[in-house]
Amino acid sequence: MEPVRGAGRQMRTGPLGIMSALPEELAAILALVDEAKTAEVAGRRLHRGQLRGHDVVLTLSGMGKVATALTTTLLIERFGVGGLLFSGVAGGLGPGVQVGDVVLARTLVQHDLDASPLCPRYQVPDLGMDELPTDHRLRAALVAAARTVVQAPPAAAAAFGLKQPRVHEGLVISGDRFIASTAQAATLLKELPRALAVEMEGAAMAQVCAAYCLPCAVLRLVSDRADDQAHVDFQRFLSEVASPMSREIISRAVAAWPQPAPG
Ligand code: ADE
């Protein structure tokens, strides 16, 4: 894999765009937003307001890479966002990544992108890179917040047998497939051994941000191990554990971010 290019971009003026794939995830974050005004564009409902003193625009990404690329472009072109954050759940892949853990993407790869022999597997042809970077400052704020939040997980976490959730930073992989098979998860890990978690949106947002030279971050709560064991109770986990934890991490991280520099 190539070295990461373009990490650490300066946050520009303009609101922070926040996306989630699922309504429960978005609703939890929306509860933090003051004076939300809504607009409808391209089948998306966008909510503008203030979160811990920062201008934000929140919306559902839609599920999968194309929907997410569309929504990211919309946030940049129509709402002038200066940076983007994706928050949602993911399947844990790495050996130590368990249900309830927090994963912050350092880089993202599209595990289902293969234009070989025209260019190497995973390479995004128009960018000439395979690992798409996230912004180290946004990520650092989220990691610090996550380390605090995992010390006191929601009471409901105990009902899912979660003990002490951990915080991981590294490679997250995205593709247009929900992984729910031990064999598929093993194949992905064999092909991309550093992958911590798998989801369906993050790399698409990161690709658009790379094209626009905008900073981004991806925060994921691990909801399953991407295997064929029936998941505990996905909806309950989402509403009682994952969404409240993500909301608390975002609240603390955004409060700690400096206001963007003008210009
Ligand atoms: N999001 C949450 N769990 C996932 C999985 N197993 N595969 C893809 N996306 C996910």
In this predicted model, what pLDDT tens digit does every residue of 113-149 receive, in sequence order? 999 999 999 999 999 999 999 999 999 999 999 999 9
DSSP 129: B
Pocket-testing residue among 172, 179, 228, ligand 1, by greatest number of atoms within 8 A of Cβ: 179
Weakest-pLDDT range from 21-30, 106-115, 161-170, 251-260: 251-260
| Residues 132 and 206 sit within 8 Å (Cβ to Cβ) | yes
Of the chain, the percentage scoring pLDDT greater than 70 comes to: 92
Radius of gyration of the chain, Cα coordinates, nearest whole angstrom:
17
Average pLDDT score over the chain: 92
Q: Show the tokens assigned to 151.
A: 């010390």
- How much distance in Å is there from the Cα of 148 to the middle of ligand 1? 25
Provide the token pair at 213: 């030279």
Residue nearest to atom 1 of ligand 1 (CA): 90
From the CA of 35, how far away is ligand 1's center (Å)?
A: 32
Q: Is the pLDDT of residue 7 over 70?
A: no
The answer to whether the Cα torsion of 242, 52, 201, 116 is positive or negative is negative
Write out the two tokens for 80.
Answer: 């002038």
Rounded-to-integer distance, Cα 126 and Cα 48, Å: 32
The H or E element spanning position 246 is helix 243-256
At 161, is the pLDDT very low, low, confident or very high (cuts 50, 70, 90)? confident
To test the pocket of ligand 1, the residue of 173, 224, 235, 237 to mutate (highest count of ligand atoms within 8 Å of its CB) is 224
Say whether 91 sits in a helix, a strand or coil: strand
Number of other CB atoms surrounding residue 224 within 10 Å: 21
**Residue of 103, 223, 233 with the most ligand 1 atoms within 8 Å of its CB, for mutation:** 223
Superfamily (CATH) of domain 16-256:
Nucleoside phosphorylase domain (3.40.50.1580)
Task: Write out the catalytic residue numbers.
Answer: 25, 224
What does the pLDDT read at residue 158? 87
- pLDDT(263) > 60: no
- How far does residue 197's CA lie from ligand 1's centre (Å)? 8
Beta carbons of 102 and 150 less than 8 angstroms apart: yes
Q: Where are the beta strands (DSSP E) in the chain?
A: 16-20, 34-41, 44-51, 54-60, 83-92, 102-110, 132-133, 167-174, 195-199, 216-224
Mean pLDDT score, 19-43: 94
Cβ < 6 Å from ligand 1: which residues? 89-91, 178-180, 198-200, 223-224, 226
pLDDT band at 6 (very low <50, low <70, confident <90, very high): very low
Residue 72: name the closest of 18, 28, 126 by CA. 18
pLDDT in tens, 59-113: 999 999 999 999 999 999 999 999 999 999 999 999 999 999 999 999 999 999 9
pLDDT band at 9 (very low <50, low <70, confident <90, very high): low
Phi, psi of 107 (to 5 degrees): -140, 165
Q: How many residues does the chain have?
A: 263
Q: Structure pTM? A: 0.93
Residue 217: pLDDT over 60: yes
